[in-house]
Structure 1
Amino acid sequence: MKSYLRIERLILVGVRKNYIVKFEDGLNIIHGDSDTGKSSILEFINYLLGASKIELADEIISSVNYAALEVIINDSAYTIVRDIYKPQNFIEVYQCPFERREAFISRKYAPNFSNNNAPDGFFSDFLMDALNFPKLKLKVSPTQVTSQFKRLSFRNIIKYSYVNQDDMGSKSLLGMTDWAKYTYTKEVFKYIYNVLDTDISDIEQQISDKRSELNNLRKKYEHVSEFLRETGYESIPSIDDAIEECDLIYDSLNIELHSLNSSMMANSDNYNQFKSYHSEFNLKIKMIVRSIEEINLKKDQYIRLKNDYINDIKKIKAIHLANEKIGLTQDIKCNCPICDNIITIENGEGGFIKSKPESLDEELLSLEKREKSISDLIINLTHEHRILLDDKIQLEADLNKVSGMIDTEAKQFITPFLTQRDSLLKEITSVSKKREALVSSLKVRNRQEELLTKQKSLTDNIETLIEKLNDLRVNAPSIDGILSSLGDDLMIFLTGVKIKNRTGISISKKHFSPIVRDRDYFNITSGGLRTIISIGYMSSILKSSIDSDINHPRFLMLDTIGKYLGKNLKTKYASDTNIIDDIDEGISDPEKYENIYNALIEITNYAQKKSSPCQIIVVDNDVPDKLSDRLKAITVAHYSANKENGLPVGLIDDVIYKH
């Protein structure tokens, strides 16, 4: 089986509700108006797959507590849970769907290699092991004999599976313009395609390590199984049945207790004292509610102030741009109409713009500091908001307890009722404790099952590695052959899209990057053409993972594929393209846009024919008109700022977005 990773559900656990996006195998489309949280979906997926940080919009900060991602890796289901406000906290992984986490013990992983204190190791190692990818150290400078080695991370591999909005069509795709670091990226490319000089010896070592790990797991499983037999642990089905029975008994007892309480009358010597406590707790809750409202008001004010700062920053930057574009006016010399002498008309200092650049720079720096400070205040208020909510919940729990005591005191004179009530409460407590013990036993049994599942996974991994090793020994791939095949796939993609002048198309033997019309990708001036090439390049790598058993997760995320294709180009990206070249290329031709989507659909259809896993997630502002009906079936999220046709307003669908 070819290794794969498939995204199932993104779950943002919120203050008011959970925000969920579901995905399927094959092509998944996310589109809608600008600034509705479309790109945030891919950013959250990337963050939950180990990215070091994530930028949070105001509506996210005010609405979301933490994030979770359901994935399928090599036929095994996992739920990844991560704190979105503290990226250095451990990442939790449950081997079950999100809703069943209560019955499983989580594994805690460090988000990066700099933290050695995680109970279960590094998150990157978990993903590499789950995908059955060799864990290696690659040379930083492969041409140097004394080159240092750097540990390969899953983050290095995902560069070939995720193109964010900034990198889409950028000259620095995969860090190409940073040649010192790009040398290591080339080694990652070789690793993906199994053409490293040390591949055979590395796989032999991996097989040896995994066999040792498998033997240790078998011993551990035997010891755990023996312990569970000796201590009389029930099987998982028996425990599940017992928990279900406890729930039925618990509900029945609560109904009986509620009926009994309804029939009692209030009368107690201590009633007034408890009533006083009840009033005190009520007052405290009201004060907390008022504080929460004040915090929400402050947060809204700070968010508006932050937006004002951002607008002022944009204005100052616009002034700088105007100075650069317009420049300073010159003094004018002319003949005096009376005496014919030459006179000079001076325009004074500053030209068109009277503000001095130094003053503007100081104001810009001050505004940026204030914007950062106000952002920190917003996050602090959000934290304070959560603390107050927790206090409110605790006080409400205390209030409920006092209410129960008031009822008890009020009904004390009814002895028969009290005796029956106490008996019911004892039974309820007993059932609750029994259920807690059963859930604890279920977690232990599930951990035992995880050991067995991991044994099977390791056995399969070893068999796959042995097959790969034998294949490498007999048919070791050559880098020239791989680049030639990749170039052929790129040619097919660009032909399907129908770019102009489809000549000189190949993959560079020096940079492993695309070449079109005998020009390196990073030397092409048309941003639209670079966008098409970058999509084609990444899609070709995905297609080669369908054909061959390479170290690729067989999923691809593309953010804003219409970035340079005449689809509302953002100002900040305008300087990275040559508009005249874009016009010459016919980039805004709707047919090219349609053909890109058709090419992606063809890849997923090809994977289906080859019975190979494959998932593509595309984010864009809109989709080609001619394909809109066809793409509806595979659209997983569609947002409208104005809620047209009843569409949700954005990823966080119960707030008002600021556009």
Structure 2
Amino acid sequence: MKLFLKTFRMIGIEKNYGFNFKKGLNFISGPTSTGKTTIFELIDYALGAKQHKSYIEVGQKCTDIELEIILDNTTYKIKRRLFDYKLPVLIEIFDEANQKFLEYGIFDVENSDNEKSLSSFLLSKLGLGGVKIANQNLSFRDLFKYSYLKQIEIDNEDILSSESNPMLNNKRKSTFEIIFNFYDQLLGELKSKLKESQEELKNETLRYEGIETFLKTSNIENFESVKLRRNEINQQIIELKALLGDKSNHKSEGISNPKVQELNATVRLKKINLKKHYDELNDKEEYIGKLRLLSNQYESDIAKLDATIMGIKGVNKYEFLICPNCMKPLEKHQNKANCHLCGDNMDEIVENTLILKTEKKNTVKKRNELEKHISYEVTEKINLQKVIKKLNDNLNSDERTLEELTEEYVNPFIEEISLINMILGKYYKELDGLENSLRFIKELNRLTLLLSDKEKEVDRLKKQIKGKANLNDKVSTFNLLSTRFSKILKEFQFPKLEKAYVNPKDYLPYVRERKYNSLGSLGAVTLITMAYYLSIFVETEDDTYNHLNLLMIDTPRKNLGTSSQNEEFQDEEIYNSVIKYFISLDKTSSEEMQLLIINNGYPDFLPKKDLIVEFSSDGRVGLIDDI
């Protein structure tokens, strides 16, 4: 299977919350408001959704979401901060040899076109990195739309929310063609990506060989021997420090001058105070740095708004004779109040411009207030630096005075203390070298995994190119898909089922010679939408297709049974037949797919092995069960 969800985990302040998935059918049941839908939405968030809902309980108890997934027999962990949507995600790779996760990299979530984005990472592991569709980059989110049927969309009369938007509709259709492998530009895109990946593999190999050569020429042993030597040195340092402390206690013996003793105490207090001020200064500098990052973000937002506003004004300065996009002739517009490019009325543009100007004004105001605060903090930092300088000067003066008062006294422990300090210095130097060695060894281990991963990616692309050399026939594909779609609706006991098919023109489902959204019943839309998603899911099981082999359905009961407003869909057997179909899929294809279902309750005939999570009706057992 292409993508397998292994473990869902929310990192809590006091404890973690989560569970494991299995292959085949995974049923999650429980009453309303126990956290069922939250699970799917946070999985979606971990896989790159722009944001999640502001769950109060989650915000009070948890900080991060972790999702362990398996791609091409390799386990990865995606970790993303909750409620902080713009922060990048951390991806770790599982080291089978040492049975632990190692850092793989930090990936952007805001811009899916970025080569270091979460989307690019996931697509590269699926063998679809760098593919362009409808003049845009294919994103993982385009594929994932065919794997997640949300509760709010299961009866939606605009499947995948794209029909009303020509650009999104073109992208939806191109993604569909890629999934079923009859997208005629896919082969060229994959060949281009293969060349790029081979170059990346070459660079990674050179980096690996450089570190390996350094370790060999430096006579650095293996990880365990370096670690053992480090532990031995740390123990020696502890013993020497204890001895040094004992000798230092005798350092001032024989000096009866009260002024010396008083000055010694003063010097110790000033050193403590100086350390406190240095810590405060470091905190202050870190805080100012964060404020400056936020200020830079405001500056970036303002620049983007300026560019947008100027673009709206600038493009209407000219009366275009030909379209700057497709280079086809345009009629010259006479009406000055209309757009010179498309001829539409400019009232909405003016309104949008006012909105943008208001947003810019608010952003500038926030930026200015932030700059005032930064200025105040910088002043505080300068004052703190002055205090530290003055305290340093006083401390230096006191130490010189102390040295003058005690220079005539020869302490018998001075020579021993100097010798101990010299030995300590040697140990610290060796320890620094060992720490560097450990870092290099860890990096080499990490690069070993990354190199192996990159080699898999190149092999995967080669396999994809070989498999895509002959594209699937579109007519045959739609015949198979329509047959599957009709068969699933029969399994669902769809009332008055007549000719059901997936149209090869718009790639959407039709029943009774009518498109899915014109049947006049939400119960019908629910069944048709599920059957449509499932038919794509089932027909793309083998490796010649590009579906994720994952399908998440939230609330299949919606508008069915007693909850239906339409009498012909109130039969409880219709809902039961849907669940029976899910169970049959688990029996016939459990090793090839992963089907996740969320619902309020389940029929008695559901196998207990498929019920992976059940929340209680008393509210005591939920996603977060200790609030």
Which category of TM-score, normalised to the shorter sequence, fits these structures? 0.5 to 0.7
SS in 2 for 1:34: coil
2:133 to 138, 158, 168: 138
**Aligned mates of 2:61, 2:100 — CA distance in 1:** 24
Amino acid at match of 2:131: L
- Which string of whole-angstrom CA distances, capped at 9 and with x for unpartnered residues, describes residues 563-587 of structure 1? 22247x5xxxxxxxx71x2x22334
Q: State the match for 2:626 in structure 1.
A: 654
Structure 2 residue 163 is matched with structure 1 residue 187? no
Q: State the match for 2:153 in structure 1.
A: 167
- Which string of whole-angstrom CA distances, capped at 9 and with x for unpartnered residues, describes residues 537-559 of structure 1? 11111111114611211111111
- Which string of whole-angstrom CA distances, capped at 9 and with x for unpartnered residues, describes residues 360-407 of structure 1? xxxxxxxxxxxxxxxxxxxxxxxxxxxxxxxxxxxxxxxxxxxxxxxx
Cα RMSD, aligned residues only:
4.4
SS in 1 for 2:94: coil
1:600 to 534, 559, 582: 582
8 Å CA contact 2:109–2:117 kept in 1: the answer is yes
Amino acid at match of 2:625: D
Q: State the match for 1:37 in structure 2.
A: 35
Structure 2 residue 610 is matched with structure 1 residue 634? yes
Amino acid at match of 2:224: D
Q: State the match for 1:482 in structure 2.
A: 477
Structure 2 residue 13 is matched with structure 1 residue 18? no
**Aligned mates of 1:217, 1:108 — CA distance in 2:** 19
Percent same amino acid at aligned positions? 23
**Aligned mates of 2:97, 2:63 — CA distance in 1:** 17
Unpaired stretches in structure 1, ≥5 consecutive residues: 140-148, 282-414, 570-577
SS in 1 for 2:552: strand
**Aligned mates of 1:639, 1:426 — CA distance in 2:** 60
TM-superposed CA distance for 1:221, in Å, is 0.7
TM-superposed CA distance for 1:30, in Å, is 1.3
**Aligned mates of 1:544, 1:45 — CA distance in 2:** 24
**Aligned mates of 2:67, 2:187 — CA distance in 1:** 30
**Aligned mates of 1:607, 1:85 — CA distance in 2:** 37
Query: Within 5 A, what are the aligned runs for 1:354-503?
Result: 436-437=435-436, 439-470=438-469, 472=470, 476-503=471-498
**Aligned mates of 1:250, 1:604 — CA distance in 2:** 57
CA distance 1:521–1:432, shift in 2 (3 Å) = farther
1:229 to 202, 213, 227: 213
Structure 2 residue 595 is matched with structure 1 residue 623? no
**Aligned mates of 2:45, 2:58 — CA distance in 1:** 14
- TM-score between both structures, scaled by the size of structure 1: 0.63
Query: Within 5 A, what are the aligned runs for 1:139-158?
Result: 139=134, 149-158=135-144
TM-superposed CA distance for 1:453, in Å, is 0.9
8 Å CA contact 2:197–2:458 kept in 1: the answer is no
TM-superposed CA distance for 1:36, in Å, is 1.3
Deviates more, 1:103-112 or 1:20-29: 103-112
8 Å CA contact 1:239–1:438 kept in 2: the answer is no
SS in 2 for 1:618: strand
Query: Within 5 A, what are the aligned runs for 1:165-564?
Result: 165-175=151-161, 177-180=163-166, 181-196=168-183, 198-199=184-185, 202-232=186-216, 239-242=222-225, 245=228, 436-437=435-436, 439-470=438-469, 472=470, 476-547=471-542, 549-564=544-559
**Aligned mates of 1:219, 1:257 — CA distance in 2:** 46
CA distance 1:150–1:542, shift in 2 (3 Å) = same
CA distance 1:183–1:24, shift in 2 (3 Å) = same
Q: State the match for 1:70 in structure 2.
A: 68
SS in 2 for 1:511: coil
SS in 1 for 2:477: helix
Amino acid at match of 1:453: S
**Aligned mates of 2:155, 2:234 — CA distance in 1:** 59
Amino acid at match of 1:468: G
CA distance 1:635–1:487, shift in 2 (3 Å) = same
8 Å CA contact 1:105–1:443 kept in 2: the answer is no
1:79 to 77, 81, 84: 77
**Aligned mates of 1:543, 1:234 — CA distance in 2:** 56
TM-superposed CA distance for 1:160, in Å, is 0.3
Count of residues in correspondence between the two structures:
481
- Which string of whole-angstrom CA distances, capped at 9 and with x for unpartnered residues, describes residues 318-339 of structure 1? xxxxxxxxxxxxxxxxxxxxxx
- Which string of whole-angstrom CA distances, capped at 9 and with x for unpartnered residues, describes residues 441-485 of structure 1? 243113321343134213422331232133x1xxx3232222221
- Which string of whole-angstrom CA distances, capped at 9 and with x for unpartnered residues, describes residues 230-253 of structure 1? 4428999x7443476479769989
CA distance 1:67–1:442, shift in 2 (3 Å) = farther
Query: Within 5 A, what are the aligned runs for 1:573-592?
Result: 579=565, 581=566, 583-587=567-571, 589=572, 591-592=573-574
**Aligned mates of 1:205, 1:233 — CA distance in 2:** 42
CA distance 1:461–1:604, shift in 2 (3 Å) = same
8 Å CA contact 1:497–1:596 kept in 2: the answer is yes
**Aligned mates of 1:108, 1:244 — CA distance in 2:** 27
**Aligned mates of 1:235, 1:637 — CA distance in 2:** 53
SS in 1 for 2:84: coil
TM-superposed CA distance for 1:31, in Å, is 1.3
**Aligned mates of 1:205, 1:456 — CA distance in 2:** 19
**Aligned mates of 1:101, 1:505 — CA distance in 2:** 50
TM-superposed CA distance for 1:217, in Å, is 1.6
TM-superposed CA distance for 1:176, in Å, is 5.4
CA distance 1:47–1:548, shift in 2 (3 Å) = same
- TM-score between both structures, scaled by the size of structure 2: 0.66
CA distance 1:103–1:19, shift in 2 (3 Å) = closer
Larger Rg: 2
8 Å CA contact 2:92–2:102 kept in 1: the answer is yes
Amino acid at match of 2:538: K
CA distance 1:465–1:250, shift in 2 (3 Å) = same
CA distance 1:115–1:487, shift in 2 (3 Å) = closer
- Which string of whole-angstrom CA distances, capped at 9 and with x for unpartnered residues, describes residues 584-636 of structure 1? 2334x1x332322221232233324xx63x11111111111232xx13x2323
CA distance 1:213–1:169, shift in 2 (3 Å) = same
CA distance 1:22–1:423, shift in 2 (3 Å) = farther
SS in 2 for 1:467: helix
Unpaired stretches in structure 2, ≥5 consecutive residues: 253-260, 277-413
- Which string of whole-angstrom CA distances, capped at 9 and with x for unpartnered residues, describes residues 252-281 of structure 1? 899999999xx9xx999999998xx99xx9
**Aligned mates of 2:13, 2:97 — CA distance in 1:** 17
Structure 2 residue 31 is matched with structure 1 residue 59? no
TM-superposed CA distance for 1:205, in Å, is 4.3
SS in 2 for 1:509: coil
TM-superposed CA distance for 1:438, in Å, is 5.2
TM-superposed CA distance for 1:215, in Å, is 4.3
Deviates more, 1:212-221 or 1:10-19: 212-221
**Aligned mates of 1:91, 1:233 — CA distance in 2:** 36
